[in-house]
């Protein structure tokens, strides 16, 4: 470029008519409003993201606490059972068969009550139709009195915790003679 030539700044193109001026002003105002809405939306997004992060952290803390202390109630309910068994072991040399049996029955009752308080229920399906989701068939046996495919006898009871199967009941299933 020669020294005579100067770099020219582009000159703004100005509208020719008043209506074009109005249109430019309207568009500039719309641009300002759109920019303002975009800033508001960005701030809302940041607040929502922060709240979501707080909820996630709170949920993680709750899960950790539940894992850490979830067995506390269970352990507290079983402590009297342990105490009873320890007492039975300490007194086993001095006790007669009858008192040992009574102690075992009392301990079994303590354990049953503790499990009941924790939401554990017994599955004892004698006479009910066989349900493979809740029962485990150990064998079938002919029966003149029971309906075919019903539970004739419970070999070992099953257990549920608040409606969720812990162990299926082991059963003998009736079949037609």
pLDDT in tens, 127-141: 999 999 999 999 999
User: Between 97-117 and 72-91, two packed helices, what is the crossing angle to 10 degrees?
Assistant: 180
Question: How far apart are the C-alpha atoms of 150 and 131, rounded to whole Å?
Answer: 9
Question: What average pLDDT does the structure give for the chain?
Answer: 88
Chain centroid to CA 80: how far? Answer: 29
Residue 91 has what pLDDT? 81
Residues 153-177, mean pLDDT to the nearest whole number: 94
Which tens digit of pLDDT belongs to each residue from 77-117? 888 889 988 888 888 788 788 888 888 899 999 999 999 98
Residue 28 has what pLDDT? 93
Question: How far apart are the C-alpha atoms of 83 and 89, rounded to whole Å?
Answer: 10
Q: How many domains does the chain have?
A: 1
130 within domain boundaries: yes
Residue 44 has what pLDDT? 96
Q: 17 or 117: which carries more pLDDT confidence?
A: 117
59 within domain boundaries: no
Residue 153 has what pLDDT? 94
Exposure b/e, 142-163, CB count within 10 A at least 16 = b: ebeebeeebbbebeeebbbeee
Residue partners of 151: CB distance under 8 A and separation at least 6: 125, 126, 127, 128, 129, 130, 135, 169, 171, 172, 173, 174
164 within domain boundaries: yes
| Domain interval for residue 173 | 120-177
- Pull the structure tokens for residue 35: 């920019």
At 13, which helix (H) or strand (E)? none
Burial class (CB in 10 A: 0-12, 13-18, 19+), 88: middle
Residue 77 has what pLDDT? 85
2 within domain boundaries: no
Q: Tell me, what CATH number does 154's domain have?
A: 2.30.22.10
23 within domain boundaries: no
């Amino acid at each position: 470029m020669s020294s005579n030539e100067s770099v020219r700044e582009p000159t703004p193109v100005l509208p020719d008519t008043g209506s074009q001026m109005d249109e430019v002003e309207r568009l500039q105002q719309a641009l300002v409003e759109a920019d303002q809405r975009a800033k508001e939306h960005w701030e809302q997004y940041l607040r929502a993201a922060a709240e979501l992060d707080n909820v996630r952290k709170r949920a993680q803390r709750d899960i950790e606490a539940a894992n850490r202390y979830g067995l506390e109630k269970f352990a507290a309910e079983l402590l009297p059972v342990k105490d009873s068994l320890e007492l039975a072991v300490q007194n086993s040399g001095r006790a007669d068969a009858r008192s040992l049996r009574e102690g075992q029955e009392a301990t079994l009752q303590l354990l049953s009550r503790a499990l009941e308080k924790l939401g554990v229920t017994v599955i004892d399906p004698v006479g009910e139709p066989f349900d493979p989701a809740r029962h485990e068939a150990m064998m079938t046996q002919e029966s003149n009195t029971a309906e075919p495919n019903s539970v004739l006898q419970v070999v070992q009871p099953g257990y549920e915790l608040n409606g969720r199967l812990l162990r299926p009941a082991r059963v003998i299933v009736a079949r037609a003679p």
